[in-house]
């Protein structure tokens, strides 16, 4: 992993081509910002889309409300909110989807979903989706207890529902706040 003074750079870890990549560090290293920028660049250059996962519905809603609310983040990503009066800007939001202007068309490039609603994304695959980011995948043991069902199996179901017949890579972004990692336990990774 590479870091500059403000932002996380994932080029080296991305070069391994793993299906699942777990990135854990302390807070405020710019992991989330780095992957938001990556999503924008892949959408702009290749028309690729990203599914952004949060654990609970409330977290997904809160993430949508604040996803691109920082002027510094918008500048870092090369985005500007669309103004219908001046017709300037390259970013729109409808519900949990964010759209970027490519040429003369608006195309969604980030869709925020809640893992607890995994059943809702079945059979809605899109061949342009090539990335899933599970932001804040680590949490405290107390919060893991609130999840109903098996979170790992729900994520795997979401992955295969999204993947179908094309390549999708998953990036798990987490903070070092918990020794409990259900994903490692599930896969028997020490």
Percent of the chain scoring above 90 in pLDDT: 55
Between 81 and 161, the more confident residue is 81
Q: Is there a contact between 91 and 80 (Cβ–Cβ < 8 Å)?
A: yes
Whether 10 has a pLDDT exceeding 90, the answer reads no
- What pLDDT, in 10s, does the model give residues 147-169? 888 899 999 888 888 887 889 99
Res 2: pLDDT: 42
Q: Provide the H-helix boundaries in 67-129.
A: 71-77
CA angle 105, 110, 116 (to 5 degrees): 145
Report whether 100 contacts 44 (CB < 8 A).
yes
Q: Quote the tokens at residue 125.
A: 């695959």
| Distances in whole angstroms, Cα of residue 87 to Cα of each of 10, 105, 189 | 34, 13, 51
Phi then psi for 42, rounded to 5 degrees?
A: -65, -35
Cα angle 103, 33, 132; round to 5: 75
Question: C-alpha distances in angstroms, 164 versus 76, 81, 113, 158?
Answer: 33, 33, 18, 10
Task: Tell if the pTM clears 0.75, that is, is over it.
Answer: yes
Angle (CA) 175-180-182 rounded to 5° is 100
State the sign of the Cα–Cα–Cα–Cα dihedral 53, 57, 61, 63: negative
Tell me what pLDDT residue 7 has: 59
Q: Is residue 123 very low, low, confident or very high in pLDDT (cuts 50, 70, 90)? A: low
Residue 4 has pLDDT above 60, yes or no: no
Helix ranges (DSSP H) in the chain: 11-14, 31-46, 57-66, 71-77, 141-144, 151-163, 182-186
Selected residue with higher pLDDT from 10 and 58: 58
**Looking at residue 1, what is its pLDDT?**
37
148 exposure class (CB count in 10 Å sphere: 0-12, 13-18, 19+): exposed
pLDDT 10s digits, 44-76:
999 999 999 999 999 999 999 999 999 999 999
């Amino acid at each position: 992993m590479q870091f500059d003074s403000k932002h996380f750079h994932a080029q080296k870890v991305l070069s391994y081509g793993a299906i699942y990549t777990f990135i854990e560090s302390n807070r405020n290293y710019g992991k989330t910002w780095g992957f938001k920028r990556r999503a924008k660049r892949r959408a702009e250059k290749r028309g690729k889309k990203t599914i952004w996962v949060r654990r609970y519905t409330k977290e997904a809603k809160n993430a949508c409300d604040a996803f691109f609310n920082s002027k510094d983040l918008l500048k870092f990503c090369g985005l500007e909110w669309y103004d219908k009066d001046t017709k300037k800007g390259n970013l729109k939001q409808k519900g949990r989807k964010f759209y970027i202007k490519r040429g003369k068309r608006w195309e969604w490039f980030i869709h925020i979903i809640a893992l607890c609603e995994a059943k809702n994304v079945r059979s809605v695959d899109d061949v342009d989706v090539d990335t899933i980011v599970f932001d804040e995948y680590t949490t405290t043991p107390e919060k893991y207890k609130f999840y109903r069902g098996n979170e790992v199996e729900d994520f795997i179901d979401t992955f295969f529902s999204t993947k179908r017949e094309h390549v999708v890579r998953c990036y798990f972004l987490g903070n070092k706040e918990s020794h409990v990692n259900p994903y490692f336990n599930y896969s028997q990774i020490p």
